Amino acid sequence: MKFNISGSEIILGAQMLFVAFGALVLVPLLTGLDPSIALFTAGLGTIIFQLITKARVPIFLASSFAFIAPIQVGIQEYGLGATLGGLASAGLLYILLAALVKFRGIKIIEKYLPPVVTGPVIMVIGLKLAPVAVGMTKNFTGGNELDFTAIAVALFSLAVTIYVVLKGKRIISLIPILIGIVSGYLLSIILGKVNYQAVAEASWFSIPWTNATENGSFAFPVFEIGAILFILPVAIAPAIEHVGDILAISEAAKKNYVKKPGLHKTLLGDGIATFTASLLGGPPNTTYSEVTGAVALIKKFEPKLMIIAAVFAILLAFFGKLGAALKTIPIPVMGGIMVLLFGMIAAIGIGSLVNNKVDMSNPRNLVIVAVILVFGIGDMILGYGEYQFSGIGLAGIVGILLNSLLPKNVPINT
């Protein structure tokens, strides 16, 4: 991993963090975790990933959207410490998948996690979060009362984000979330809806864990079986996303990263990064498609740029006023962005079914998709006492079981 770094590469590395920044801090802001810790664990996770893969893959790891709903529900049901323990266990599942791929090859994932299972699971993740997004647009306090100023701010943020998605050029097209947040924030300032007291009181330099402990957004992980069973199956979807991202960056760079350093190495790096992030109080990590897009745009497929971005993320984590400023972003601004983002997650799940030509006229496929959707969106619960599976996790497990047990050759009724 020895390499020289030029001034221009430092600027390019900082740009990679800029591309990831909006999504990176959004997950902790939505789940109640600390954004400064999320910055630190994203940087540390990326460095861990690069060490394990011997700096061969231009990938940046940061906060995973797939875990937003499980974190929110987990904290309510089991507490923050147990939820972080469950998230750490999800990292261990990645490590197990890495071992399976190492000894059985990538076909083991294709066998048990085909698109007919992963597609609807991804849809459930997005659709489960839809009420959260709508609720965030209603007012500035997080209650249920309607405030039309809040709705206007949310719709403005949404409109700007959509415009950038559709019309943005070059680097601008890669940061629609960040531009949408900044636009909504500026409108909120004009309307007098931003309170800077927390920023004024924050110190320039701070230890993220000290502040997070004081405000209740950090706890030491506790490994409770109930929380583990609730969160663990959710890791199925981001594991599949990881495979897709590695294939995407391989295609963009014209290199086969699935073979060298190997999918087992990239999964292992992602797993250890997620495990470490959870132990430190950050959200689980995942490979960032936005950064992959930026790399493809500037045609600089150099892993050292990711390490530079990671170092910047770690340094920013100790900038106390940044963490305080992030917390001043009004709820409706985030709500407007979430309306699009959560819907896009569901749409990606639909796209997975379409792109992989899953035949929905086949009763077998129809049954698998239908049961996954209803179990996941309807919060079905199965189990006894502490040993319970529910929601997204249960939907994923049931999907895997149905795909394994239902006969493959089911006649299509005409």
Q: What is the pLDDT of residue 126?
A: 76
Q: What pLDDT is attached to residue 394?
A: 79
| Residue 319 confidence (pLDDT) | 83
pLDDT tens digits along 151-203:
998 999 999 988 888 887 776 776 677 788 889 989 999 988 888 887 777 78
Selected residue with higher pLDDT from 280 and 131: 280
Task: Give the pLDDT of residue 270.
Answer: 92
Distance of alpha carbon 232 from alpha carbon 81, whole angstroms: 15
**Do 310 and 46 form a contact (C-beta atoms < 8 A)?**
yes
Q: Do 284 and 56 form a contact (C-beta atoms < 8 A)?
A: no
d(CA 46, CA 134): 33
Task: Report which of residues 137 and 80 the model is more confident about.
Answer: 80
Q: Are 273 and 95 in contact (CB under 8 A)?
A: no
Give the 3-state secondary structure of residue 389: strand
pLDDT at residue 125 greater than cutoff 80: no
Distance CA 51, CA 105 (A): 22
Neighbours of 250 (CB within 10 A): 17
pLDDT tens digit string along 99-116?
988 888 777 777 777 888
Predicted local confidence at residue 142, as pLDDT? 65
More confident residue, 83 or 350: 83
Tell me how far apart the alpha carbons of residues 68 and 62 are, in angstroms, rounded to a whole number: 13
Q: Using one digit for the tens of pLDDT, what is the confidence trace for 293-314?
A: 667 666 778 888 889 889 988 9
pLDDT at 277: 94
pLDDT of residue 269: 93
CA distance 361 to 347: 20
Q: Residue 222 — very low, low, confident or very high, per pLDDT cuts 50/70/90? A: very high
User: What is the mean predicted confidence (pLDDT) over 80-98?
Assistant: 91
Where residue 70 falls among pLDDT bands split at 50, 70, 90? confident
Report the C-alpha dihedral over residues 196, 200, 206, 208, rounded to 10 degrees. Answer: -20
Q: In whole angstroms, give the CA distance from residue 6 to residue 300.
A: 14
> 286 in helix, strand or coil?
strand
Comparison of pLDDT for 77 and 241, the residue scoring more: 77
pLDDT, average across residues 17-23: 73
Q: Are 413 and 363 in contact (CB under 8 A)?
A: yes
**DSSP states of 205-258:** B--HHHHHHHHT--------HHHHHHHGGGGHHHHHHHHHHHHHHHHHHTS-TI
d(CA 153, CA 365): 41
pLDDT, residue 32, reads 85
Task: List the chain domain ranges.
Answer: 7-405
State the pLDDT confidence band at 2, using cuts at 50, 70 and 90: low
pLDDT of residue 79: 92
Note the pLDDT tens digit of each residue in 244-268: 678 767 877 788 888 888 889 999 9
Q: pLDDT tens digits, residue range 278-292?
A: 999 999 988 876 677
How do residues 316-359 score in pLDDT, each as one tens digit?
889 878 777 777 888 888 888 878 877 877 887 888 788 888 88
Rounded Cα distance, 104 and 292, in Å: 28
Determine contact, residues 389/354, Cβ cutoff 8 Å: no
